[in-house]
Amino acid sequence: MNISIQSAIETRTSVNNFQPDRPLDDDAIATLVDLATKAPSAYNLQNWRFIAVRSEDAKARLKSAAFGQRKVGDASVAFIICGTLAAHGHLRTALKPSVEANIMDQRTVDAWVAQVTESHQDDPALQRDEAVRSASLAAMTLMLAAQGMGLGSCAMGGFDGAQVAREFGLATTELPVMIVAVGHPAVSNWPQKPRKPLPEVLAIV
């Protein structure tokens, strides 16, 4: 984990070819997810859940839901990263450790719960945006953490969400936002693809 943040960002590529049969142990998986949850989320909602798909059987089911993409099977672990809808209902619980640690007082928590409930409860589009946003922030953190551990990763959006939900028993409030495959890159992979020139994507005002 000693490579610099700049180096992790600059050297990360989307790995399509992984060395098969290189499982990750529970500790490595826990480290990756623990770091992923350090991502921010609105109100500290932590509206996410991670399913680490590692067994052959589970990988086969996920691969089928991901249109047969080989990397799901070859990667050490394929993480299903879910965003949670209707997360406002769980904010009080999510913030309890912050109250117990004397970081937040109960009055602030009560105010946040009232505010998020008012803005989210009747707005399913906002709930969905929030779920995609939080899960994506966590996914990016996980990919950079993997890079720091000498592993490669690939963010995947190509899968049948309904099939993933069915196969892995997701709650109706859980939206599978991304699959992130993590493992040991094989020798042959694309280098990082060039980006648009900066002036096309940046304005300073």
Report 55-114 residues binding its own copies (CB under 8 A). 55, 58, 94-95, 97-98, 101, 103-104
* Contacting its own copies within 132-171 (CB under 8 A): 132-133, 136-137, 139-141, 143-145, 147-148, 154-155, 157-158, 168
Q: 40: which 2 tokens?
A: 């921010």
**Cα–Cα distance for residue pair 56/138, rounded to 1 Å:** 25
Q: 195: which 2 tokens?
A: 């980006």
The closest alpha carbon to 81, from 42, 44, 39, belongs to 39
Closest distance of CB 165 from its own copies, Å: 14
Q: 26: which 2 tokens?
A: 């529970």
Total residues at interface with its own copies (CB under 8 A): 76
Closest distance of CB 136 from its own copies, Å: 4
* Contacting its own copies within 182-201 (CB under 8 A): 190-196, 198, 201
The closest alpha carbon to 19, from 151, 134, 109, belongs to 151
Closest distance of CB 97 from its own copies, Å: 4
